[in-house]
A and B are shown apart, each in its own frame.
Chain A
């Protein structure tokens, strides 16, 4: 177990290193003077000089990388030339909103997917299983941006429910009820996508597990249906569920931008799109780095949880 974790940790460090090189090198992949790309609309001769000095653009590229990564490790990702604020503090302000949104959506998704998967796996191809199967397959093909647009159209515009429309985000510290209201539609939208995946994965694994001999054994001992589901069948069936949860939560961190953008919720996704529109290169670079590392970390954590659930995996 320990050896497995150490090996994964070394791999993690390797991947984080590659990601940092990738985020750093982004600027050099693009044609033109990097200083002009970084400064965007603020490319005055003075700013150019400051930037050349700050990033050491005249020095060899590997030296530039080590200067940059040294600063990043000290929490300094530079100061945006557009907004004149530090990139690190902008990211620190936006990240908690993403976390809240993801936590809310995952609570909703698991709360719906686990009981429903248990119900429908009891009678595969029964009426409930068929209806849920068709519904989840259809929802799989509806992009989140369409769900959110339709929800805004019907709930915030037609029904006029407050705090749900675009640009009505309320911070958690000022009014937590209004905050939950303003996050209700995006959290619900993200939850639908997650629910579909979790339901389908857990259902098929449960059906397979329920045919195992130890379940027949438990049944013959007269253990209740509910106890068999939760105590005997759930744990061995949850490995694929956890695996897809890791991929999915990482995907929400990286791909939740559309929902945030449409409702103007100032999380990382929204900040990223604004930074792109303002050509705020340093902020884009910072967010790309933070989100990529976040995705890798989430996958690592879920790998770890899977190992606790099924220790056989690390022994292979």
Chain B
């Protein structure tokens, strides 16, 4: 969550009309490839990620096992692909919940202002003061039994205040623009202004924060996996794999390196796309 806060405070120089660049599209391609792999993992010609082949234990990367095998003889490549399912599901799911609740509230508060805005903003700022990580761990640790849906729900709810703040500030900078006032003068309904005028202008800002948010949540899921609070093994997730590999990493470093690389590359691409979109749509007016 902190990463999201820090990202917001960075004041970048405006880069008007700069093309998105080839690196941007490479990143989009990589993210798309990962999502494709996650969705179609059981259709693709992959080895069973849970199959323990004891005749090929701790094998290095090779033709038969692209990334090698782990200490139980399971294929690392296939586990990395299947592992992306949990990470992507948690990241996207939690952010959909966070934006689903936080974004409409933030837009409405910024548009309506008045008492509604004051009360809601005060509540959200108090919630923001409560460290989200600690709250998430505390709730997940005592809410048995654990499962993917609960993890998504808890992280998603924890992210609502942050999303609310970002979207409210973004909407406020747009709501004072002349074309909004013009629409009001013409007698457009509140609903029309919110959906037809404000939403299209808030969306680019929202999307860039959504991507950075997904990256932050995936990092959080990895940290939770280290504490044994993510999905239960043997289901692979990137965090689970790195965590399990720690005990045998002196013998088989590939076991740590491949899932770490997969995770870092995915996060890097998400952050890069988010950052580029943000400077492309020139969100410099959004100061928090």
CB within 8 Å of B: which residues of A? 14-15, 18-19, 22, 26, 29-31, 37, 124, 137-138, 140-143, 145-146, 149-150, 153, 157, 197, 200-201, 204-205, 207-208, 240, 243-244, 247-248, 250-251, 254-255, 257-258, 261-262, 272-273, 276-277, 279, 281, 284, 288, 291-292, 295-296, 299
Contact = CB atoms under 8 A, between A and B. Distances in A.
A296 B242 contact: no
Contacts of B270: 141
Contacts of A146: 222, 242, 260, 263-264
- Specify which of A143, A201, A240 lies most central, judged by the most chain B CB atoms within 10 Å of its CB: A143
Contacts of B242: 145-146, 149
Given A14-B126, A240-B9, A288 B264 contact: no
Given A143-B219, A157-B249, A248-B2, A30 B133 contact: no
B89 to A, nearest CB: 18
A258 B223 contact: yes
Nearest to B265: A141
Contact of B134 (A37, A204, A288): A288
B149 interface: no
B119 interface: no
Contacts, number: 135
Given A137-B275, A258-B226, A247 B253 contact: no
Contacts of A29: 139
Interface residues of B, number: 47
Given A254-B133, A261-B226, A207 B13 contact: yes
Given A248-B2, A295-B131, 13 more contacts: A15-B126, A18-B130, A29-B139, A124-B13, A137-B268, A146-B222, A149-B242, A150-B256, A157-B250, A204-B12, A208-B11, A276-B227, A281-B142
- Specify which of B5, B130, B253, B263 lies most central, judged by the most chain A CB atoms within 10 Å of its CB: B130
Nearest to B239: A145
Contacts of B281: none
Contacts of B131: 250-251, 254-255, 291-292, 295
Interface of B: 1-3, 5-6, 9-13, 126, 129-131, 133-135, 137-139, 141-143, 215, 219, 222-223, 226-229, 239, 242, 246, 249-250, 253, 256, 260, 263-264, 267-268, 270-272, 275
B223 A255 contact: yes
B133 A255 contact: yes
B130 A247 contact: no
A18 B126 contact: yes
Contacts of B130: 18-19, 22, 292
Contacts of A279: 142
A167 to B, nearest CB: 13
